[in-house]
Amino acid sequence: MRIRMQFPSVLLAVFIFTPIISQSDPVSSTDSLFKLRSETTGLNRANIDLEIARYHFMRDMDSVNYYVELLEKFIDHTYDKRIDAFIRKFKGYNAHLNLEIEQAMDYARQSMKLFEELGDYREVGWLLLNSGLNYYRLGDFASATDQHLKALSYFEQVDHQRGIAEVYNGLGRISYQTEHMQKAMEYFQSALEIFNQLERNDQKSKIFNNMGIMYLNNGEIEKSLENLFKAANGFKSDGDERSLALVYGNIALGYDKLNQPDLAMTYCRLALRHSKNAGDEYGIINGIINLGYFLRINQHYDSSRICLDKALEMAMDKNLVVFEEEIYGEYADLYADMGNYRTAYAYKMKYDSIHRVIIDEKSQQRIDDLLFSYKQKLKEQELEQLRADQKMQLVMNNIFILLIILSFMVLVILIYGYRSSRKQKWQLEEKNLLLKKYNLRLERSEQDLKEMNDEKNKLFSIVAHDLRNPIAAVSGFTELLIERFDELDEDTKKEYIDQIMQGSMRSLSLLENLLLWARSQMDIIKIKKTLIPVHKLIDECTGHLMSSIEKKNLDLIIDFKDEFDLYIDREMIQAVLRNLISNAIKFSFPGNSITLTCKRENGTSCITVTDHGTGISPENMEIILSAGNITTTEGTSGEQGSGLGLLISRDYTEKNGGKLYAESELGKGTKFSICFPVLE
């Protein structure tokens, strides 16, 4: 009983291709228009002819065609864009009724362009929606969806609720065909809500029909028939023969599934009669096939064959290959039921042959889609190149802005250093005055102050040296670019820009650490502790450093031996981890690896950063671990640093209740750990 599987899809396919009426409702009667027409001439009469044609649209296409001819004669000598747009729209619908799909879509595109130029977005939306239905008819669901969504955007611009509801209805049908049943029902319900608000009973009937089909395919026959009869009553009151034929066909299917062949046959004949009344050739062919099916299962073989012969003649005349495939399949079932297996086999072979052709056409469609996608990618690549050129120009502009910012920050640092130096001097003088009264105490204080002053002088010396070099590089390469920009080749320009960016990044890194250190020294940092998972902390820190790791060809290994939470100030410990990882990158040789280990041991939760680089001598390790000491060393690739990173890391770790530990062996690598008490 192969036709029982095909029958539902055939019936639904007929319904969903019903075109949609224009967005603006024409006059309810033509009596007054005919009177006005006799009293006017020229453009006024042409506009009245247009209104009469719109009145007959979807009602009497012969009358529409008559007035279209009058309008064409008018615009031949007096062109009017709006009238021309409607003429092409009417012709497209007429081609649709004659199953000339490609021509219908061509007229729709022409009409759509004119309406868009006129700013009539409602008409553009309806034409896009009808175009989507035509793509649906061709089985191109992707293009159908695209056209529906474009129509929705136009309708939303002008808040056209009826158009929005029709789009939801169309998207529901597409979702149904692509087997997204839940989504389809949601679209149908949304459309029904809008039509209820608009009190559009004719449109509600379409939704009832579609929901009836959904329930039918889910095996809920009673619910299906309830909705289908609601749709039939609505179409009957509106005199909509075409839609009534579709609903009666679906009711026939429902009774067929209830094993009530007599009622199924009755509604099948009713569907065919209304298709003929509507002049719907597509519906007529489908109705004849379905009638042949019911005649066959009731063993009226001769009558069934006559129906199939008529359907095949009409399908071949219109070149509807999908129907030809269906008819040959039904022929095969008919002759098999009659016991004529040789003829049944011959028709089965014809069915298979056409089926393969359809499959090949679908394959070609997929190839065409891939070719279109490839062309789109080429266009995207050209666009990316244009964006890259614009980005290069933006980088140049940002470099000059960055130089101004850096100059300002250097000025701030120098002012701060000057004020700090004056403060230290004042403290020293004050302590000298107290020396006379408190000799032993003053000696100790004087020594402490001298060490602090020496350390800060050393810091400013390091900062002045390390900040001067990258800023000088930025300034020098920028000057070369400005003076010799037209003489330099592209590779040299890129190299200079890269040097400028590296110098800028080194300066920014130094300034960031310096500002962090200054805030720490002035005790203006407010610690805001939160509970954070260690894996999230690691992800946030490593993401910013991946470019540096990749540039030096290093491997980053993250080993979560234990998963735990830390109660810390997120920004402070992020700064600690960034400094420790940056040091590991700095002192690692290209091709080496860096390991981050998260582990609980001895009542603490520890994060350990291990490198396999140059290592630190015992003497330098003692200096590094001494509070207040600053030391700096070049990295394996000549990277510069200020020595502030470890000082900040140690200070920030302790402010969060933790400890900083270090182990190293010269020439083999270094291991830094920050440990915090385990949370209870």
pLDDT tens digits, 575-617: 899 999 988 998 898 989 999 999 998 889 999 999 998 888 8
Whether 51 and 90 have beta carbons less than 8 Å apart is answered as no
- Higher-confidence residue of 72 and 438: namely 72
Pairwise CA distance, residues 119 & 114, whole Å: 9
Amino acid at 191: A
The dihedral formed by the CA atoms of 621, 626, 629 and 630, expressed in degrees to the nearest 10: 30
Is the distance from CB of 628 to CB of 648 less than 8 angstroms?
no
Burial of 101 (0-12, 13-18, 19+ CB in 10 A): middle
Q: Indicate the length of the chain as a whole number.
A: 680
Provide the sign of the torsion angle of the four alpha carbons 564, 568, 574, 577, taken in this order.
negative
For residue 173, the number of C-alpha atoms closer than 13 Å in the C-beta half-sphere is 31
List of residues 6+ apart from 5 with CB closer than 8 A: none
Q: How far apart are CA 59 and CA 511, in angstroms?
A: 79
The strand pairing partners of 530, in sequence order, are 568
pLDDT at 677: 92
> How far is the C-alpha of 246 from the C-alpha of 211, rounded, in Å?
14
Residue 525 vs residue 422, higher pLDDT: 422
pLDDT computed for residue 453 by the predictor: 63
Determine which of 9-18, 209-218, 357-366, 434-443 has the lowest per-residue pLDDT on average. Answer: 9-18
Taking residues 51-71, what's their average pLDDT? 80
CA nearest to 558, candidates 574, 586, 579, 535: 535
Q: What is the pLDDT of residue 53?
A: 80
In whole angstroms, give the CA distance from residue 318 to residue 281. 9
Each residue of 505-515: b (16+ CB within 10 Å) or e? ebbebbbebbe
Confidence check: pLDDT of 449 > 70: no
List of residues 6+ apart from 673 with CB closer than 8 A: 606, 607, 608, 609, 660, 661, 662
Nearest 5°: phi and psi at 362? Answer: -65, -40
pLDDT of residue 461: 52
Rounded CA-CA distance 557/612 in Å is: 12
Share of the chain above pLDDT 90, in %: 15
Q: For residue range 92-151, list pLDDT tens digits in order.
A: 888 877 777 778 888 888 988 999 899 999 889 988 988 888 788 777 889 899 999 999
Model confidence at 385, pLDDT cuts 50, 70, 90, reads low
In the chain, % of residues over pLDDT 70: 77
Say if residue 369's pLDDT is above 50.
no
Query: What is the Cα–Cα distance from 274 to 252, expressed in whole angstroms?
Result: 14
Quote the CA–CA distance of 168 and 198 in Å, as a whole number: 15
10 Å CB burial of residue 82 (0-12, 13-18, 19+) is middle
**pLDDT per position as a tens digit, 644-661:** 778 888 888 998 999 999
Q: Lowest-pLDDT range, 191-195, 287-291, 436-440?
A: 436-440
Dihedrals φ, ψ of 601, to 5°? -160, 140
Residue 292 has pLDDT above 60, yes or no: yes
Q: Amino acid letter at 171?
A: L
What pLDDT shows up at residue 600? 92
Beta strands across the sheet bearing 593-601: 555-560, 593-601, 604-611, 669-677, 659-665
Which band of pLDDT confidence, cut at 50, 70 and 90, is reported for residue 23? Answer: very low
Q: Taking a C-beta distance cutoff of 8 angstroms, is the pair 324, 355 a contact?
A: no
- pLDDT single digits (tens) 73-99: 888 888 888 888 888 888 888 887 777
- Give the mean pLDDT of 154-177: 90
Contact (Cβ atoms closer than 8 angstroms) between residue 667 and residue 490: no
Residue 329 in this model has a pLDDT that exceeds 60: yes
d(C-alpha 306, C-alpha 255), whole Å: 24
What value does the mean pLDDT of the chain take? 79
| Alpha helix segments (H runs only) across 178-200 | 181-198
Per-residue confidence (pLDDT) for residue 151, from 0 to 100? 92
| Among 79, 82, 86, 50, CA closest to 67 | 50
Which sign does the torsion angle of CA 253, 255, 260, 265 carry? negative
Q: CA 464, CA 587: separation in Å to the nearest integer?
A: 23
pLDDT recorded at residue 450: 67
Task: Sort strands 593-601 and 555-560 into parallel, antiparallel or unpaired.
Answer: parallel
**In the predicted model, is pLDDT for residue 61 greater than 90?**
no
pLDDT number for residue 638: 59
Give yes or no for residue 460 having a pLDDT over 70: no
The per-residue pLDDT for 159 is 92
Which DSSP helix (H) or strand (E) runs through 431? helix 341-434
**Close Cβ partners of 459 (under 8 Å, ≥ 6 residues apart):** 630, 642, 644
Strand duo 669-677 + 659-665: pairing:
antiparallel
CA-based nearest residue to 231, from 264, 261, 269, 271: 271
pLDDT value at residue 57: 73
Do 566 and 640 form a contact (C-beta atoms < 8 A)?
no
Beta strands in 544-592 (DSSP E): 555-560, 565-569
Greater model confidence, 300 or 34 = 300
Output the CA torsion 151→155→158→162 (10° steps).
150
Q: What is the mean pLDDT of residues 274-280?
A: 86
Yes or no: say if 84 and 118 are a contact pair by the CB < 8 Å rule.
Answer: no
C-alpha dist (Å) from residue 234 to 231, 241, 254: 5, 11, 19
Specify the 3-state DSSP secondary structure of 348.
Answer: helix
DSSP state of 679: P
